[in-house]
Amino acid sequence: MNRTIRVALAGAAMGLVLGGCTGSADEPEAKAKPATPQQQWVQALCKALEPTTAPVEPPSTSGTAAESQEAIVGFLRTLRDRLEAQATVLDDAGAPPEVDPASFDQAKESLASGAKTLQGVIKNLKSASSADADQMEATLLQVSESLAESSSYEGPLAELSASDEGLKKAFEDDETCASIMS
């Protein structure tokens, strides 16, 4: 069963942690004030997003089934909370200037959808009996399948970058954004 747990965790870590929940805790060097409204928006957005991108360590699955279940649920809650925090940051930032607001709305929807998926996964995992190995294994396979659907999501910055070349360049040129996206 621990192998199944590790597979589920790998799916969670690959799909969601790489989807905007990684980054650097290093402070970027001070730069001159950005010249364009897009650069100013990008700089403020990435500075606000940075606290939500610190690495999250996958939980240990070496304990009992109940301990592993609890650790996985805690890990998934952390990921869900990070996606919700990122959605709040986007809401607070508002749509980027000079960019079609539909791409901004799509980035917010992707974060909300990811958080909703995680909430469903958490609910299913919590309802599984850790005493029933077959039920737990089946639940973990369902968890893995649910998370695999989200594994290609690269995060709100990548999604917004794809929508506009000027915005993409602003993200690439900002050190904080570049560290979040790497």
Most confident of 65-74, 85-94, 152-161: 85-94
Q: Report the 10 Å Cβ neighbour count for 13.
A: 19
Q: What is the pLDDT of residue 30?
A: 53
23 pLDDT band, cuts 50/70/90, is very low
Instruction: Assess whether pLDDT exceeds 50 at residue 7.
Output: no
Instruction: Assess whether pLDDT exceeds 80 at residue 103.
Output: yes
Task: Output the DSSP codes for the chain.
Answer: -HHHHHHHHHHHIIIIITTT-----SPPPP-PPPSSHHHHHHHHHHHHHGGGGS--PPPP--S-HHHHHHHHHHHHHHHHHHHHHHHHHHHHH-SPTTS-HHHHHHHHHHHHHHHHHHHHHHHHHHHS-TT-HHHHHHHHHHHHHHHHTTTT---HHHHHHTT-HHHHHHHHHSHHHHHHH-
Report the candidate in 111, 114, 110 with the shortest Cα–Cα distance to residue 87.
Answer: 111
Segment 60-64 mean pLDDT: 84
Q: What is the pLDDT of residue 146?
A: 81
Q: Write down the domain spans for the chain.
A: 2-16+64-154
- Prediction pTM value: 0.78
